[in-house]
Each structure stands twice: as C-alpha cells, then as structure tokens.
Amino acid sequence: MGGRVTGARHAAVEPASTIEAASNGSSPRAGTDRSSIGMLGGTFDPIHLGHLALARAARASLGLDEILFVPAARPPHKLGRPISPATDRLAMVELAIEGEPATRVSDIEIDRSGPSYTVDTVAALLDEAARDDRLIEVTVILSAESFADLPDWHAADRLVELATIAVAPRPGHPLPEPIALADRLPGLIGRLAVIHGTLPDISASKIRALVAAGRPIDHLVPPRVAAYIEEHHLYREPATRKDQP
C-alpha cells in the first residue's frame, strides 16, 4: 500500500549496472535479495490520474517491484517560476497513492537544499542502499517530453551510468528517436526501456487552469486530491504558468 519514505531511509533506489557497489565503493553482502524500483520524480503540482496510470504501466510493463514517487523541492527547469509549496505537493502525492499497491513517496528532495537534480537523488539513495547492504536496481521513469531533454540534464552521463531510463509515450508526444539522443548522450544505448500501455492525456497546467476557472477536475485527479485542492484553496489565481504534465 502507499506510504511515505522519510529521506533515503528504507527507500534505497539504485541502478541495474552499479547495484553491488555504492558510490563510496562499499559492497552489499552476497545473497541479499535484489529489488527493482521505478523512480517517478516531478513537481506534481498537482499529481493526477496520468501520473498514477504511468506508475501502474511502468510497474506492469517493466516488471518492477515497487514505484517510488519523488516530489521535487526546486525543479531545476523551473527555478524562478511559481509552484505550490512542497508540503502541499507532498501531501497530495500521499493522498493519491493511498491504496496503490507497491507504491511509496519519498521526501528526500524536499529535505535537500538546492536544485532537485535526479542524479543527486539516485546517488544519495545508492549510498543509503550500500550502508543497508541492499541490492537495488533503479529505473528512472520519464515522460516522452522529459526524455527528449535528457541530454541537457545536469550530469546526464552520470545518471545513465547509475540507472536505467524508462520512457512512456503519450498522445501528442511520441517517443523521440533514441539514436538521435544517443549521439548527444552515448551512455544511453543499452540503458533505455520503453513503457507500453495507453496513457491518458492529462497535464497539471490544464488542471490548474480548470480550478482557476471554477470548473470540475474530478475526472482528472483522485477524489482525495480534488478535496485537498478545494480545502486548501490551491490554484485559485489564474493558471498562467505552464510546466510538464
């Protein structure tokens, strides 16, 4: 069932190619069971049914043991742009995943100062895994839009060393040509997986605009998230900012 992971404790998420050695060089004990975890990061402003559908599709398509939602505190591509408080976004994720099997949320990026770089999160969780003598494989789950920008991410070459990258096309956003991206990010070859399944075409910016206009969003977010948005008066100002789904 859904639940929160505080910081990195009990949320060790690590890559397929480097599971057995943490970034500090230590090694887990032999014979420890290996788990595969899909890391789904984002602003989640708000989390919506598309995110949940993506998590379920990734788990089913890739055979993952668990999904870990990681709300970003300061998304590096949105610095200087208004986003809802991290506490609200974290609370909405917790509400959304309640009852979802093998799904948890981590506040590791919210607790960390500075921009929320995915590579830093993976490395921190890898260190935690090594200290706990765990064998963990991580798959970073991306939308097609985010995947297209991957070569421009902070330390993208290091990220593809640490984790498998899984990408999910959605209506209007087909999968970019991996070979073209690999020209800019050579390590991507052999580290890419495609998530199969039909995903709904939902965006957080659309939801914010609907709330600002006083229109219903019950068909786009879980009921408890809709109730939280109403109770906390989120998105009442005109939704002028636009971000990833």
Residue ranges covered by each domain of the chain: 4-199
Architecture of domain 4-199: 3-Layer(aba) Sandwich (3.40)
pLDDT of residue 180: 82
Under DSSP, the state recorded for 113 is -
- The mean pLDDT value of the chain amounts to 84
Nearest to 135 by CA among 45, 20, 15: 20
The answer on pLDDT for 37 being more than 80 is yes
27: confidence class by pLDDT, cuts 50, 70, 90: very low
pLDDT of residue 202: 94
pLDDT of residue 193: 94
Phi, psi angles (nearest 5°) of residue 110: -65, -35
92: confidence class by pLDDT, cuts 50, 70, 90: very high
Can you give the pTM of this predicted structure?
A: 0.84
